[in-house]
Amino acid sequence: MSHLLSVADLGVQGIEEILRLTDSFVEVTERAIPKVPALRGKTVVSLFYEDSTRTRLSFETAAKRLGADTMTFSVGTSSVKKGESLRDTVQTIEAMGVDAIVVRHASAGVPWQIARWASSVIVNAGDGWHEHPTQALLDCYTIRQRLGSLQGRRIAIVGDIKHSRVARSDVLAFTMLGAEVVLVAPPTLLPPSLEGWPVTVEHDLDQTLSKVDVVYLLRMQLERQREALLPSLREYTARYGLTPRRAEHLGPDAIVMHPGPMNRGVEIAAEVADLPNAVMVDQVRNGVAVRMAVLFQLLGSGTQLEGVDRG
Ligand code: NCD
């Protein structure tokens, strides 16, 4: 693996390898000093053209825990504001001597474009509506941790699927690992065509909840919606929000997931987000170990570490 651009490129084997490696890094993150020198001397830069809290901090924490140096590029305070092109920005960053560029951009395909120009390793941290591979990996890891395996599990992804890169990467990863995925959304929030998507569709959340092992809620991506796709957020919540009453339909072992940022009171009620079977905090915690595994896999070739088994 020379870059991480898409879940599709990884294949089942690639996903399994990273999840195995993640086990070792979970162990590292639980140590009193949660650091290993695996990437000492390497530099990882985050190039974020879109807002982010957890993904950027998670990659930076992961890089630091592997002993790498980090640089952060925030578009709002950069020369992009002065009209610098993406290509010139990438060239400038590379000239400083970096080993990996973690990129998030509002346009689909930008990480692939950068991979053609750059000689560093590129990691896709979210491109438009398209893909968010490390989110899918940490979601798979979290489901396994709670439920043992994804094989034969039923997973409902609920909400603004049309605009969600998380949904696209998750559908690929979950089904590759043997889960069945059902999408639950109003027709206006589904992609115009689901041809080739290995999923079924339901419009009634109440009926679906009692039959699933995982309910995965998505934020309404209002910043990407160009037209009125819903009568109102209140009506959305009334039919598709995970309210305390609806959450009672869930089986005792079923888990509730969300990639964050949550809009409490819209797609998920505040009380439901704090239930013991809501695993959002685990998702964030596992995200650091998964990203350590990804960076180690991409940059740590030849590095042998005691207690870190490449699987
Ligand atoms: C998501 C994203 O930006 O794709 N968040 C994340 O990375 N955890 C989802 C969102 O913004 O709703």
Give residue 41 CA to ligand 1 midpoint distance, Å: 30
* pTM for this model (two decimals): 0.95
**Residue 75 has what pLDDT?**
81
Domain span at 231:
133-279
Residues 221 and 294 in one domain: no
Residues 121 and 147 in one domain: no
Is 121 inside any structural domain?
yes
Is 30 inside any structural domain?
yes
Give residue 32 CA to ligand 1 midpoint distance, Å: 30
What's the CATH code of the domain at 100? 3.40.50.1370
Pocket test for ligand 1, best of 46, 49, 55 (most atoms within 8 A of CB): 55
**Residue 152 has what pLDDT?**
98
Residues 137 and 258 in one domain: yes
Q: How many structural domains compose the chain?
A: 2
**Residue 82 has what pLDDT?**
82
**Residue 310 has what pLDDT?**
60
pLDDT reading at 27 higher than 90: yes
Is 311 inside any structural domain?
no
Q: Which residues pair with 155 in a beta bridge?
A: 181, 214
Is 104 inside any structural domain?
yes
Is 153 inside any structural domain?
yes
Is 305 inside any structural domain?
no
The band of 308, judged by pLDDT with boundaries at 50, 70 and 90, is low
Mean pLDDT of 302-310: 62
Residues 89 and 65 in one domain: yes
Residues 137 and 179 in one domain: yes
Residues 254 and 290 in one domain: no
* % residues pLDDT > 70 (the chain): 96
Nearest residue (CA) to ligand 1, atom 7: 55
Is 307 inside any structural domain?
no
Q: How far is CA 13 from the centre of its chain?
A: 19
Give residue 272 CA to ligand 1 midpoint distance, Å: 20
Report the nearest atom of ligand 1 relative to the CA of 51.
3
Residues 127 and 175 in one domain: no
- What pLDDT, in 10s, does the model give residues 109-151? 999 999 999 999 999 999 999 999 999 999 999 999 999 999 9
Residues 20 and 108 in one domain: yes
Give residue 11 CA to ligand 1 midpoint distance, Å: 23
Tell me the CA end-to-end span of the chain in Å, nearest whole number.
15
Evaluate: CB of 135 within 6 angstroms of ligand 1: yes
Residues 127 and 138 in one domain: no
- What pLDDT, in 10s, does the model give residues 36-74? 999 999 999 999 999 888 999 999 999 999 999 999 988
**Pairwise CA distance, residues 84 & 307, whole Å:** 44
Angle at which helix 133-147 crosses helix 7-29, to 10 degrees, equals: 60
Give residue 55 CA to ligand 1 midpoint distance, Å: 8
- What pLDDT, in 10s, does the model give residues 193-216? 999 999 999 999 999 999 999 999
Cβ-count burial 87-97 (b if 16+ within 10 Å, e if not):
eebbeebbeee
Residues 163 and 33 in one domain: no
Residues 105 and 142 in one domain: no
For all residues of the chain together, what is the average pLDDT?
94
Residues 268 and 155 in one domain: yes
- What pLDDT, in 10s, does the model give residues 166-175? 999 999 999 9
